Structure 1
Amino acid sequence: MDLMEAGSSSNVDTNSSDNSTSKKMLNRTETMLVAFKESQLIGRENEKSDILKLIANEDSRRCEVICLWGMGGVGKTTIIRDVYQSQELIGNFEKRACVTIMRPFNPQELLKNLAEQLECKDVEDLVKQLEVKKYLIVLDDLLATTEWDAIIPYLSPTETSSRIIVTTRIKDIAKHCSKNSEYEKIYELKSLGQNSARDLFIEKVFDRTTNLNEQYPELVEQANLILKKCKGLPLAIVTIGGFLANQPKTVVEWRKLNEYISVELEMNPELGTIRTILMRSYDGLPYHLKSCFLYMPIFPEDYRIGRGRLARRWSAEGYSRAVHGRSAEEIGASYFMELIRRSMILPSQQSIHSAKGFNSCQVHDLMREIGMSKSMEENLVFTLEQCCSVNTQGIARHLAINGNWEGDKTEFESIVDMSRVRSVTVFGEWKSFFISDKMSLLRVLDLEDTTGLSDHHLKHIGRLLHLTYISLKGCENIFDLPDSVGDLRKLETLDIRDTHIFMLPNTIIKLRKLQYLRVGRNSYDEDVSYEEELLKAIPEKMRNRLCLLPQCLLFSYLLSKYRDDLKIHDRCTMMCCSILPAFAMCLDLYGVLVPRRMRKLKALRTLGVVNIGRRGKDVLLDIKGLDQLRKLGVTGVNKGNGKELCSAIVGLSHLESLSIRSEGKPGLCECLDGKFSFPETLQSLKLYGNLVKLPGWIQGLKNLVKLKLRSSRITEHDAAIQVLGNLPNLAFLHLLEKSIKGEEVYLSFQQGTFRNLVVLEQSMGLYRRLKSVKFEQGAAPKLEVLKFGLGTYIDSSVLGLPSLSSLKEVVKEGGISETALAFLRTELAEHPNRPVVKTV
């Protein structure tokens, strides 16, 4: 069962009385009966089948450990109990036992319980019987590896085909338990899908098959809101459904539950089971993870939170600190992954563009309610929303402003105790009084995607001397950073991506603690420049005849037409401070010009995207001096600075990620040629621009994990594929738009190549055809995800899919034709992994 006592202590408590243990077991059983009244599974048929196959697998003739993990309330106990009682297993084992691990943990009591179920005299007799009998043992709700280590010597693997099933909330515990098995058998139980969740909810509320749309159409909206809050968590669906089963089936009652769900969870004994179980998950966290989890209510419901954003904020707040050569951001990223492994936060997606796993997360609505409640108790997070009462006094450390709050300055100052505020995060519309000189302890100013923020709002930002983290990412009305930013001597993170800033102030070189500097813009089309995007609406003949001034006037017209959110003053600022200077210096706007003497920022670990098109040699000399760089992005590469760029990169001995870009033609052609030995630490490489052929030094990147090519126009693609196929650690390969030259492309992945490739993305671009993609037997033996990009046409010329022994997913971006879908399903029908075909 997913119900856990507070803490995760694994100390042996030999003084625990039998009465106390029996009472706890009785309470636990009652909780199980409240939460799961039915024995049948709804929406878990496939999962049950998978687990039965893992147990019944006769390939191994020794004892095997099978681990089932997932967040609290996801239904691990329910499904494993159903599996345990399954008719398919009853005749396969001589002895069976199922034990729920109680807290405080007492291994002797647990072994005594096992002995009784297996009809042994005592623990010593239990050990003897397990050596000769084929047995099935379920250990439900393991909380620590030390608990497993205390038990397993008595259940040591035998020569019989016995099975031990472990359930746990934590992935690392599952790995620890199965590490000595012949085959790693770990199964993650995820939340129910939308249809299964709805079926389970209706079953619990009405105790019969009911068509909600026909019989209770007035309840559909409220039912959907309830299911949205439950997010497929069976415990929540069953408990709330059981509660509503005894209430009037009216809109008023269901709306009341939706509006006051947090209060109901805390006060209503019928719903208390949910809170109890989820609270035990929180209570089991170590102290440092509790602090990180209580930070999550800053972000709105259903908000997708980036891993890097969280890690850098935690670092700025002091929640993570550098240790043993690892930066505070790296430690924060490890906390992020640990919270995912403990199922406290949920991965919003496993990005196939990331070699580091999950790029972002979300918080389950009910878990977020727990976090909000605990955070308010400890005066950590205060959320200012449209419904915020004037009588509420915000004394928390972290201020979050959600939506377009309509109060004025007087009201704001009466609500918020500015002297206590350590962080300000704005989601929605900006107002000038959201930051104040009174916020003397402010460390974090996170204004990502805030609307209405203009340059003059930041004029005096240098007065906030404790600022460690600033994000203006996505603030499209920002064109310039004030010189006063140089006064922020404690600043570690400055993120100004997707603003209209194209030049950094000279004072930036005063920020000697700056570690993370992200600048420049993303493009809607990576193959054209920002200026070209604005000019798309202009006929080509007219475009070529325009001189600089008329072009800028035309841009002004386009801005007034397509950016009606900008005021006249802001449009003028954009023209004078961004577009006009960029045109005058012939710059693209993906990168940013940096001042001289950037080499003084010795703490920099991330820098990009820097435009080296002007003052290139000086800039590259500065970059060469930044010997702590882990991540670097540059644009404006040409034949005049390409060799110097490569020489600078050679000296960056810690570099892990590199992005190089050059607009249009000749682009990168002949810019990166030469014999260079790039750092052995380099793991990620992105090359955007006209290459024609791969640089020779790529074949020397023995530790490269991820490679992304776009607009490269590789002509000799067979030779290129062979070179890439020989990179020993390449796991992620993205061949994006125009990476391969030709209207009809033939690709062949030969036997013995791409030995560690896990993800392959091929996106030829709109209306370009992959004439043939062939995987020979033995090619890419670890490939799990095969993705075809937007507009890429695929058909029966995709050959060899059955030979990809590890394949799990075939993904098609932008939809797929019925013909292609039928072909893929036929190809994959007999595949032992049962790969799925997805469209995104």
Structure 2
Amino acid sequence: MKPLDDHSSRQLFYGRVFGLENTCPHPFEEPSEKILQKCGGLPLAIISIASLLASQSTRSVSQWNYVLNSLRSDLRSNPTLEGMRQILNLSYTHLPHHLKTCLLYIGMYPEDHDIEKDHLVMQWVAEGFVCGIDGRDALEIAGSYFNELVNRSMIIQLVEHHTFYMERIYHKVHDMVLDLIVSKSAEENFLCVVENMETITRRQHCKTRRLSLQLGEAELDKIAPWMSLTHVRSLCIFGLRHRSIELLELKFIRVLFVCKVDGLDLAPIGKLFQLSYLNVQCSYPGSSMQLPKHICGLRHLETLVIDAPLVELPQDIVHLPALSYLEVSVCIAYPDGISKMKSLCTLKGFDPSKQSVDNLRALGELLNLRELDMHFTDDSFRTTETRMLCFIPSRTVGYYDEWNSLCLSDCRLEQLRLGFNFPRLPMWVGQLSTLSSLEIHVDELCNDDISVLAGLPALAHLVLGATNVPDEGIVFSSSAAFSSLDYFESRRTGHSLHFQAGAVPKVETLRFQLDVDEVNSCGIRLAGVEHLTNLKRVAIGLGYTWESDVPMVEAAIRAIFDEHHPGRLVFHITSFYG
């Protein structure tokens, strides 16, 4: 990347430190200029030092001069890798001890690997880096550590748009930050990354506690004679096809992450009694995997993720006392008895069409369930509807009279994603008083349904798909305001949206889709945007028949928002044929 000019450098630096791109308090102007001189216009250097200064609890000129004097290299006159490493090392040195430990663990991941926040923090907790304190859950604390590393620019947050409705937030570390992590990890014997036989030979007499295998399959067969796995607490294996790892050697293993690996014998997993986190991913065509038939000995297993072709789940999975997170990407029947899984907080990839009636009924008995992701793999909803005598998302849920006569009590569900259509909005939705995030799709939506959703006091994130809506469209009424909603997404094309004053006072993000041909014939059916006083982001998908019509419609949409929110909004407009 080219160095930034002086103006852009100041904008980046001031924006990160002070929150305003063109503002710097007078006492800090001189040290700021000298620091920017040292950074030489390099964005990574500027954002690293700016993040370091922004993280300090107090701000003083002497503190800034201390940082300035710590920068020995002048990257403007001598832009070297060593100078950049020195800046990153300074940022690392100023990290609190707990953040250093968490950052070094990222060295387990290969270069340019997508980091999933939820899974990384679960690995930190499984390793014992983070514990609950003062009533705060360990995962909550670990999440705050992750956010702090993002704020300090040690971790980069990115957004990828696959389609208009598929937005993925993921994280990476810069290549030079990863080099620093690996170097520090080697110095402190924190972890070992094996990329070739030289590494194995060099480390054969070390007690390796964290091991990341990133080898070609030809070399991997040579590991066993050279490296002991006895002391390993975390093992990550990436992109290999092999059968050579002796899992039974992993007597103290807590984290096992197998990514894009084929042929690994998982039978010994049932005897890894200290295992807390297990994530198995396999993407090779024609590959399959088989878990052992019995895993009830895994008394400490808290996280189980299976993203691979799987014949069946172990029958005794329902007896794992600590299992709180279960995600199975393949559609598979769960063993009967899931009502015994009392510690389960998150359940993802659950297909009701594959389950027994007893298991559907039992979902209502999972008292600690906070997050549920359900979807059908085909059009089986109608065929399974008649046998779904009980359907979940709370402590007690019964299904009678086509999803509506449901009895709910003390519901504590916080996130609910239902990836299939209901005929109408189920009555029990209005009783989900702790729900903060909801995705739901209905064949028919009425105004009363909007009022029901508005009555959910904690609802902050709503994705709503409706095939048919009232003639006046989807109306957000001031008489039924959404008190907490900050994100709204409409998943159908062409519906009118009307926002009355005070109906959605906190909405910051609005996402919807329009058909260009409909706009040309009926106009843009969008009213009340002036009442969205906290709006910050607008994402619009434009479906077109003739691409030449798109610019005019896009300009008209921007004009509507610019009239009431001039220069204030971030727009993301995409167009597609169809």
Normalised by the shorter chain, which TM-score bucket?
0.7 to 0.9
Q: CA deviation at 1:434?
A: 3.3
Provide the rounded CA distance (Å) in 1 between the counterparts of 2:514 and 2:89: 43
Counterpart in the other structure of 2:78:
243
Provide the rounded CA distance (Å) in 2 between the counterparts of 1:623 and 1:669: 16
Three-state SS of the structure 2 residue aligned to 1:314 is: helix
Counterpart in the other structure of 1:338:
148
Q: CA deviation at 1:407?
A: 0.8
Counterpart in the other structure of 1:399:
211
Counterpart in the other structure of 1:713:
443
Provide the rounded CA distance (Å) in 2 between the counterparts of 1:39 and 1:505: 60
Is 1:447 aligned with 2:268?
Answer: no
Q: CA deviation at 1:824?
A: 2.2
CA RMSD of aligned residues (A): 4.2
Counterpart in the other structure of 2:67:
none
Provide the rounded CA distance (Å) in 2 between the counterparts of 1:422 and 1:793: 59
For each residue in 1:250-287, what CA deviation from the matched residue of structure 2 results, as whole angstroms up to 9, or x when unmatched? Answer: xxxxxxxxxxxxxx64xx4xx2xx33332232222222
Three-state SS of the structure 1 residue aligned to 2:248 is: coil
Find 1:827's aligned residue among 545, 560, 565.
560
Is 1:348 aligned with 2:158?
Answer: yes
Q: CA deviation at 1:333?
A: 2.2
Partners of 1:384 and 1:405 within 8 A in 2: no
Is 1:371 aligned with 2:337?
Answer: no
Three-state SS of the structure 1 residue aligned to 2:467 is: coil
Counterpart in the other structure of 2:537:
809
Counterpart in the other structure of 1:695:
426
Find 2:499's aligned residue among 759, 765, 775.
775
1:309-324 to structure 2, matched below 5 A, reads: 309-324=119-134
Is 1:676 aligned with 2:403?
Answer: no
For each residue in 1:453-492, what CA deviation from the matched residue of structure 2 results, as whole angstroms up to 9, or x when unmatched? Answer: 46xx212332433322211145563353221433333322
Q: CA deviation at 1:734?
A: 0.9
Q: Cα distance 1:685–1:465, how it changes in 2: closer, same or farther (>3 A)?
A: closer
Q: Cα distance 1:502–1:779, how it changes in 2: closer, same or farther (>3 A)?
A: farther
Q: CA deviation at 1:43?
A: 6.6
Counterpart in the other structure of 2:221:
409
Find 2:343's aligned residue among 586, 603, 616.
603
Provide the rounded CA distance (Å) in 2 between the counterparts of 1:595 and 1:757: 38
Provide the rounded CA distance (Å) in 2 between the counterparts of 1:494 and 1:384: 25
For each residue in 1:67-104, what CA deviation from the matched residue of structure 2 results, as whole angstroms up to 9, or x when unmatched? Answer: x545xxxxx79x97x7449xxxxxxxxxx5448999xx
Partners of 1:762 and 1:787 within 8 A in 2: yes
Find 1:304's aligned residue among 114, 120, 123.
114
Q: Cα distance 1:645–1:779, how it changes in 2: closer, same or farther (>3 A)?
A: closer
Which runs of 5 or more residues in structure 2 are unaligned? Answer: 33-51, 65-70, 162-166, 545-549
Q: CA deviation at 1:332?
A: 2.2
Counterpart in the other structure of 2:524:
797
Q: Cα distance 1:603–1:686, how it changes in 2: closer, same or farther (>3 A)?
A: closer
Q: Report the TM-score when normalising by structure 1.
A: 0.54
Find 1:384's aligned residue among 194, 198, 201.
194
Find 2:328's aligned residue among 516, 519, 523.
519
For each residue in 1:483-511, what CA deviation from the matched residue of structure 2 results, as whole angstroms up to 9, or x when unmatched? Answer: 14333333222111x43336322232443
Counterpart in the other structure of 1:754:
482
Three-state SS of the structure 1 residue aligned to 2:213 is: strand
Residue identity in the other structure for 1:695: P
Find 1:328's aligned residue among 125, 138, 151.
138
Counterpart in the other structure of 2:234:
423
Partners of 2:299 and 2:321 within 8 A in 1: yes
Q: Cα distance 1:326–1:100, how it changes in 2: closer, same or farther (>3 A)?
A: farther
For each residue in 1:696-743, what CA deviation from the matched residue of structure 2 results, as whole angstroms up to 9, or x when unmatched? Answer: 232333443222123x212x433323432443432211124xx32379
Counterpart in the other structure of 1:489:
299
Provide the rounded CA distance (Å) in 2 between the counterparts of 1:240 and 1:99: 19
Residue identity in the other structure for 2:323: L
Is 1:627 aligned with 2:364?
Answer: no
Provide the rounded CA distance (Å) in 2 between the counterparts of 1:327 and 1:84: 39
Three-state SS of the structure 2 residue aligned to 1:332 is: helix
**Structure possessing the higher relative contact order (Cα contacts under 8 Å, 6 or more residues apart):** 1
Q: CA deviation at 1:514?
A: 2.2
Find 1:469's aligned residue among 249, 256, 277.
277
Provide the rounded CA distance (Å) in 2 between the counterparts of 1:376 and 1:344: 19
Q: CA deviation at 1:425?
A: 1.2
Provide the rounded CA distance (Å) in 2 between the counterparts of 1:607 and 1:780: 30
For each residue in 1:790-814, what CA deviation from the matched residue of structure 2 results, as whole angstroms up to 9, or x when unmatched? Answer: 9897744142334422222222358
Q: Cα distance 1:706–1:408, how it changes in 2: closer, same or farther (>3 A)?
A: closer
Provide the rounded CA distance (Å) in 2 between the counterparts of 1:772 and 1:346: 37
Counterpart in the other structure of 2:390:
644
Residue identity in the other structure for 2:443: R
Q: CA deviation at 1:301?
A: 2.4
Partners of 1:297 and 1:381 within 8 A in 2: yes
Partners of 1:345 and 1:362 within 8 A in 2: yes
Residues paired across the two proteins, number: 520
Partners of 1:425 and 1:445 within 8 A in 2: yes
Higher strand fraction: Structure 1 or Structure 2? 2
Counterpart in the other structure of 1:583:
none
Three-state SS of the structure 1 residue aligned to 2:462 is: strand
Provide the rounded CA distance (Å) in 1 between the counterparts of 2:482 and 2:96: 41
Partners of 2:357 and 2:388 within 8 A in 1: no
Q: Cα distance 1:751–1:518, how it changes in 2: closer, same or farther (>3 A)?
A: same
For each residue in 1:148-180, what CA deviation from the matched residue of structure 2 results, as whole angstroms up to 9, or x when unmatched? Answer: 7xx9xxxxxxxxxxxx9x99xxxxxxxxxxxxx
Three-state SS of the structure 2 residue aligned to 1:309 is: helix
Three-state SS of the structure 2 residue aligned to 1:294 is: helix
Residue identity in the other structure for 2:7: L
Counterpart in the other structure of 1:723:
452
Provide the rounded CA distance (Å) in 2 between the counterparts of 1:751 and 1:606: 35
Q: Percent identity?
A: 27
Three-state SS of the structure 2 residue aligned to 1:824 is: helix
Provide the rounded CA distance (Å) in 2 between the counterparts of 1:792 and 1:299: 44
